[in-house]
Amino acid sequence: MPPLVKRLASAIGLLVAVLVLNFLLIQMAPGDPVEVIVGEMGGASEELIARLRAEYGLDKPVIVQLGLYLSKVVTGDFGYSYYFNQPVLGLILQRLPATILLVVSSLMIAVVVGTLMGIYSARKPKGLLSHFVTIFSLVGYAAPVFWTGLMLLILFASVFPIFPVSGMQNVRGSETWIGAVLDVLHHLVLPSVTLASIYIATYSRLSRASMLDVLGSDYIRTARAKGLNERRVIFGHALRNGLIPVVTMVGLQFGQLFAGAVLVETVFNWPGLGRLAYESILRRDYPTILAILFFSAILVMVANILTDLAYGKIDPRIGGSRRKAPKPKGAAQ
Amino acid sequence: MDPVLEITDLKVGVDTGRQVHSVLDGVSLKLTPGKTLGVVGESGCGKSMTALSTMGLLPDRFAVSGGSIKLMGEDLLAAKPARMRELRGNAISMIFQEPMTALNPVLTVERQIAEVVELHQGKTGAEAREIALEMLRAVQIPSPEDRLAAYPHELSGGMRQRVMIAIALACRPKVIIADEPTTALDVTVQAQIFRLLRELQDQTETAIMLITHDLGAVAEMADEVAVLYAGKCVESGPVREILSNPSHPYTRGLMACTPRLRLGAAAASAAEEGLGEIPGMVPPLGRFPKACRFAPRCALADARCHAEAPPVVPTGPDHSALCWHTNKMEQVA
């Protein structure tokens, strides 16, 4: 089987497993959607409750419900949200771009800032700024993300009202296309910095260790012996090698980033999947929760595939069937 | 002929934080265009430190504390870092011991060779590529066009060392320092690399400083020899003189330690003789004896050797040794 086919097959298998497990786990969890609906309605007769159960198929045995659910998902139907009263798929597609925007920009901030900080403190491990970097990143790592978010809100939206308090767009909207983009970016700053703050620590420590290791290696001495200046030694020779563990970490952390997004989106009222997840869990809105978990799994898989591709780009030893390199005899090692 | 590189009374120390230990104590060497100087000694005697001082690439904590290093009359120890970068890889280049780790694993062979040409000769694009190709041909790598795009891990050890040599030679340097260039290679490959270096030297009139612990390599390659022991140059002279009439007990000891292949009846007598050894080991930094540094391991040592530093004694044409007992050499080994 060609590698890509193999890969897709295993991805599909994994997705089915995600669906089934999530479905069963939610069935086991306490709480009853009908009771929540009834509670919001301010009470209802036994008759109405029974009718609601029948309508949502909740009176059937679990295994039958699972079968029904899976057969519908295959056709792209993720059911009907109990709470939002609209098809789940539409609900999710509406929220997905906001989350992808938030997660990807946070990741970029974390990787770029973290790596630069790491490079700096690897170059001058005993410098004052290095200690500052260490403290800063540890605080960012240790502080709960919702607390960091609230602090940033108080500081930069209330005390110094530079950034908007919540949401993704200005209520009044914007007339021009460019104005709308700037508006979204303006709203994006605080949430993405908040989400990035946890991961900056990871990346700065990781890239520091990795750069220290790389800078001590023989090929860096070779690069210096060529007469390259420090900047070219670092960015031309050391960085690509130093980035290898960072890329690995990006792939591993993508899932966690989604978990972080739930909190950040809730704090900043960001209209993404995370907040949707939070709301639908509160309402016991099972079809929505299941679909969110399903789509997050897809995103994590896509991220992992991208990471692997990036990995092969950065490290030619992993690239595999990249090109028809003539293998010389005795080219072991 | 005027020496192209002249090291005079070089002193290097290492700062351990508590005190400064002497690593090199008054090493003087001369390199002549088109000739090879073999620098011989055990590990820890200061060979590599001599090379790295010349390149201006001493590791942290190591510093030159005296003497001079002159490349075509220019004092390298007084040169500014920017000037040293101009010279490194250009007028003076280095081949390292470990071809496995001395090349950058994530850059192609072309990039690693072309880089020096771009840096020092201002060549770009196709021109730099053409020179890289020419260099691969010069170091006799088979199908050089294909190897340009290869990464180091796709090449064998001997090939990688050829690439290292190509990098070192790319700018036609006046001086090449080869630090144990064949130690990590198979014997058959060693012979090829030495032959290649000799051929290239004949074409380019480059002076080579060959650092090695292998007297076989010296016999094959060198015109002149300097024997280092514990940071001092204990014997120096033309290679024939040194090998036929070693005038320092340490040189004699090293020669006795070199296995020789003999056949037939000679083999039996060789087995009876066994392989020589020098008792003890090179003293660690900071524990060098005050008077003659070799005295504790020397068969000829007497009270004077332990009390007074020996003088430089001329023992032949251009041949001298640092010993009180140059006239008693027959008694050793």
Tell me the C-alpha distance between B167 and B112, whole Å: 7
Out of A74, A101, A133, pick the residue that ends a domain. Answer: A74
Query: When comparing pLDDT for B111 and B283, which is higher?
Result: B111
Q: Is residue A268 part of a domain?
A: yes
pLDDT of B167 reads 92
Decide if A222 and B98 are in contact by the 8 Å CB cutoff.
no
CA A74, A75, A81, A87 dihedral sign is positive
Which of A212, A219, A333 to mutate: most B Cβ within 10 Å? A219
Q: Which residues does chain B have within 8 Å of residue A226's beta carbon, measured at their own beta carbons?
A: 88-89, 93, 115-116, 119, 167
Which of B61, B62, B98, B106 to mutate: most A Cβ within 10 Å? B106
The H-assigned helical ranges of B274-330 are: 303-307
> Within this chain, do residues A271 and A190 fall inside the same structural domain, yes or no?
yes
Among partner residues A227, A317, A326, which is closest to B153 by beta-carbon distance? A317
Among partner residues B85, B102, B157, which is closest to A222 by beta-carbon distance? B102
The yes-or-no verdict on residue A314 having pLDDT over 80 is: yes
Decide if B104 and A219 are in contact by the 8 Å CB cutoff.
yes
Decide if B85 and A229 are in contact by the 8 Å CB cutoff.
yes
ipTM reported for the complex, 2 dp: 0.85
Of the pLDDT bands very low, low, confident and very high (cuts 50, 70, 90), residue B94 is very high
Among partner residues A222, A240, A316, which is closest to B96 by beta-carbon distance? A222
Query: When comparing pLDDT for A242 and B261, which is higher?
Result: A242
Q: Is residue A162 part of a domain?
A: yes
Q: Is residue B59 part of a domain?
A: yes
The yes-or-no verdict on residue B298 having pLDDT over 90 is: no
Contact criterion met (CB below 8 Å) for A200 and A110: yes
> Within this chain, do residues A42 and A171 fall inside the same structural domain, yes or no?
no
pLDDT of A173 reads 67
> Within this chain, do residues A124 and A208 fall inside the same structural domain, yes or no?
yes
pLDDT of A141 reads 82
Q: Please check whether residue B186 touches A, CB under 8 A.
A: no
pLDDT over 70, % of chain A? 94
Provide the number of CB pairs (under 8 Å) joining chain A to chain B: 95
The yes-or-no verdict on residue A305 having pLDDT over 90 is: no
> Within this chain, do residues A298 and A177 fall inside the same structural domain, yes or no?
yes
B199-218 burial by CB neighbour count: b if 16+ within 10 A, else e? ebbeebebbbbbbbbbbebb
CB within 8 Å of A326: residues ≥ 6 apart: B143, B146, B147, B150
pLDDT of A319 reads 60
Predicted TM-score (pTM) of this structure: 0.78
pLDDT of B32 reads 92
Q: Please check whether residue B151 touches A, CB under 8 A.
A: yes
Q: Domain range spanning residue A53?
A: 3-74
Q: Is residue A270 part of a domain?
A: yes
> Within this chain, do residues A95 and A21 fall inside the same structural domain, yes or no?
no
Tell me the C-alpha distance between B167 and B93, whole Å: 9
Q: Please check whether residue B143 touches A, CB under 8 A.
A: yes
Q: What is the pLDDT of residues B191-216, one digit of tens each?
A: 888 888 888 898 888 999 999 988 88
Beta bridge partners of B221: none
The CATH number linked to B292 is 3.40.50.300
> Within this chain, do residues A42 and A96 fall inside the same structural domain, yes or no?
no
Q: Please check whether residue A227 touches B, CB under 8 A.
A: yes
pLDDT of B220 reads 87
> Within this chain, do residues A128 and A241 fall inside the same structural domain, yes or no?
yes
Q: Is residue B62 part of a domain?
A: yes
Q: Where are the beta strands (DSSP E) in chain B?
A: 5-15, 20-31, 36-40, 62-71, 74-75, 92-95, 175-179, 207-212, 224-229, 232-238, 312-316, 319-322
pLDDT of A228 reads 92
Residue type (1 letter), B167: I
pLDDT of B325 reads 84
CA A137 to each of CA A45, A114, A131, A162, A189: distance values in angstroms, whole numbers, following the listed order: 56, 8, 10, 24, 19
Contact criterion met (CB below 8 Å) for A78 and A19: no
Look at strands B207-212 and B175-179 and give their pairing: parallel
Look at strands B207-212 and B36-40 and give their pairing: parallel
Average the pLDDT over B166-179 and give the result: 90
Out of A41, A74, A107, pick the residue that ends a domain. Answer: A74
CB within 8 Å of B48: residues ≥ 6 apart: B179, B211
> Within this chain, do residues A14 and A145 fall inside the same structural domain, yes or no?
no
Q: A325 to chain B: nearest residue by CA? A: B150
Q: Is residue A319 part of a domain?
A: no
User: How many distinct structural domains can be found in chain A?
Assistant: 2
Q: Is A85 helix (H, G, I), strand (E, B) or coil?
A: coil
- Of B11, B51, B27, B30, the closest CA to residue B312 belongs to B27
Tell me the C-alpha distance between A249 and A111, whole Å: 10
Of the pLDDT bands very low, low, confident and very high (cuts 50, 70, 90), residue A101 is very high
Q: Domain range spanning residue B308?
A: 5-91+176-189+206-331
Look at strands B92-95 and B175-179 and give their pairing: parallel
Q: What is the pLDDT of residues A114-131, one digit of tens each?
A: 999 999 888 887 888 888
Q: Is residue A58 part of a domain?
A: yes
Contact criterion met (CB below 8 Å) for A299 and A258: yes
Average the pLDDT over A1-29 and give the result: 83
Average the pLDDT over B154-166 and give the result: 89
Q: What is the pLDDT of residues A70-85, one digit of tens each?
A: 888 888 888 888 788 8
Q: What is the pLDDT of residues A126-167, one digit of tens each?
A: 888 888 888 888 888 888 888 989 999 999 988 888 888 878
Lowest mean pLDDT among A3-7, A202-206, A310-314, B7-11: A3-7
Of the pLDDT bands very low, low, confident and very high (cuts 50, 70, 90), residue B279 is confident
The yes-or-no verdict on residue B190 having pLDDT over 80 is: yes
Q: Please check whether residue A316 touches B, CB under 8 A.
A: yes
Tell me the C-alpha distance between B224 and B36, whole Å: 6
Among partner residues A241, A323, A333, which is closest to B106 by beta-carbon distance? A241
Contact criterion met (CB below 8 Å) for B5 and B70: yes
Average the pLDDT over B53-79 and give the result: 90
Q: Please check whether residue A219 touches B, CB under 8 A.
A: yes
Q: What angle do CA A189, A192, A196 make, to 5 degrees?
A: 130
The yes-or-no verdict on residue A323 having pLDDT over 50 is: no
> Within this chain, do residues A277 and A198 fall inside the same structural domain, yes or no?
yes
Average the pLDDT over A10-25 and give the result: 88
User: How many distinct structural domains can be found in chain B?
Assistant: 1
Q: Is residue A288 part of a domain?
A: yes
Q: What are phi and psi of B161, to 5 degrees?
A: -65, -30
The CATH number linked to A279 is 1.10.3720.10
> Within this chain, do residues A11 and A95 fall inside the same structural domain, yes or no?
no
Decide if A219 and B151 are in contact by the 8 Å CB cutoff.
no
pLDDT of B59 reads 87
The secondary structure of A183-220 as a DSSP string is HHHHHHHHHHHHHHHHHHHHHHHHHHHHHHHHHTSHHH
Q: Is residue A212 part of a domain?
A: yes
pLDDT of B273 reads 67
Of the pLDDT bands very low, low, confident and very high (cuts 50, 70, 90), residue A330 is very low
Residue with tokens 């497990």: A21
pLDDT of A320 reads 52
Decide if B151 and A317 are in contact by the 8 Å CB cutoff.
yes
